[in-house]
Amino acid sequence: MAPNAVDDEKPVVLVTGCAKGGIGYEYCQAFSSLGCRVVATDVPDRVPDLAGLDADQLPLDVTSDDSVAATVARVLADHGRVDVLVNNAGIGCTGPLAELRGEAVRRAMDVNFLGQLRTVRAVAPHMASRRSGRVVNVGSVVGTAATPWAGPYCASKAAVHAATDALRLELRPFGVHVVKVVPGAVRSGLGHANTAHLAGQEWRLYGEFAAAIAERARASQAGSATDAGVFARHVARRVMSPRPPREIVYGSMTALFAALAAAPLWARDAFFANRFGLAKMMR
């Protein structure tokens, strides 16, 4: 469909990882409430129903170059532009690094890190040609202070942080703003998904730590976790401000993780060893 005059006045926001129950779904609600035209994407069987919102729903697999290219081409054909890209798609990967299957580790990196690069490559030439655009890459507090039992997830988010810092400088000459979002503990479907992936898993070296590993899978969903809607609205407002920030750090436990990131390694190790059941093996 050709964009109409009313749609031309609305910023077009492409959001990845929008399944209902996740933060991406809340981003769609938040950006729509700010008067944006939202394009919500996810893998085909998880594309959300956003009835009542000024939104489109499109299938997108961020691990596929062809899928990313096709979806971005469709958005450009329908709306003529992408003003904001929100790289939210992500998966967990819980377990001890010495025992996790290589495929699980590769998939975490492919979705969480390389998936963002694929979408950036697809939209950057368009944004650069217009000398306008905003790219929002979602990292995590564990990208700066890695926890045990989630090494691949932490590594993928650390890669997001490093790449986003480089991208912010590389796209600046073209008038494209790059924003790094660093969530703390935010209540979403991630904890349930992490726990489900552990079902039936047996650890050879770490059998006695099964309970601690399961605790790490749901750690970000504790009672103090920030509501996903509150988090999404905060991020959307700042991204759409006249001068978007370089970094948005928000949510429960962000102050704790900032302190851990700045702490000596012995102190950080002691904290996480006690928190996730490893202290008894270090005595």
What are 226-248's pLDDT values in tens digits?
999 999 999 999 999 999 999 99
More confident residue, 47 or 190: 47
Q: Which fold has domain 5-281?
A: Rossmann fold (3.40.50)
Share of the chain above pLDDT 90, in %: 81
Contacts of residue 185, Cβ cutoff 8 Å, sequence gap at least 6: 219, 220, 221, 222, 224, 225, 226, 251, 252, 253
User: Is 157 known to be catalytic?
Assistant: yes
pLDDT tier, 3 (very low <50, low <70, confident <90, very high otherwise) = very low
Q: Which of 25, 27, 157, 206 is catalytic?
A: 157
When pLDDT is averaged across residues 20-30 and rounded to a whole number, the result is: 95
pLDDT tier, 192 (very low <50, low <70, confident <90, very high otherwise) = low
pLDDT at residue 149 in the model: 96
pLDDT at residue 281 in the model: 58
pLDDT at residue 25 in the model: 96
Q: Which of 25, 153, 180, 206 is catalytic?
A: 153
Share of the chain above pLDDT 70, in %: 95
Q: Is the distance from CB of 93 to CB of 100 less than 8 angstroms?
A: yes
pLDDT at residue 5 in the model: 45
Q: Is the distance from CB of 123 to CB of 133 less than 8 angstroms?
A: yes
The Cα 21–Cα 187 span in angstroms is 9
3-state SS, the chain, equals CCCCHHHHCCCEEEECCCCCCCHHHHHHHHHHHCCCEEEEEECHHHCCCCCCCCEEEEECCCCCHHHHHHHHHHHHHHHCCCCEEEECCCCCCCECCCCCCHHHHHHHHHHHHHHHHHHHHHHHHHHHHHCCEEEEEECCHHHCCCCCCEHHHHHHHHHHHHHHHHHHHHHHHHCEEEEEEEECEEECCHHHHHHHHHCCCCCCCCHHHHHHHHHHHCHHHCCCCEEHHHHHHHHHHHHCCCCCCCEEEECECHHHHHHHHHCCHHHHHHHHHHHCCCHHHCC
pLDDT at residue 53 in the model: 87
**Domain spans in the chain, listed from the N-terminal domain onward:** 5-281
pLDDT at residue 191 in the model: 66
Amino acid at 5: A
Query: Do the strands 133-138 and 176-183 form a parallel or antiparallel pair, or are they unpaired?
Result: parallel
The Cα 63–Cα 113 span in angstroms is 10
What are 27-71's pLDDT values in tens digits?
999 999 999 999 999 998 888 888 888 899 999 999 999 999 999
What are 169-182's pLDDT values in tens digits?
999 999 999 999 99
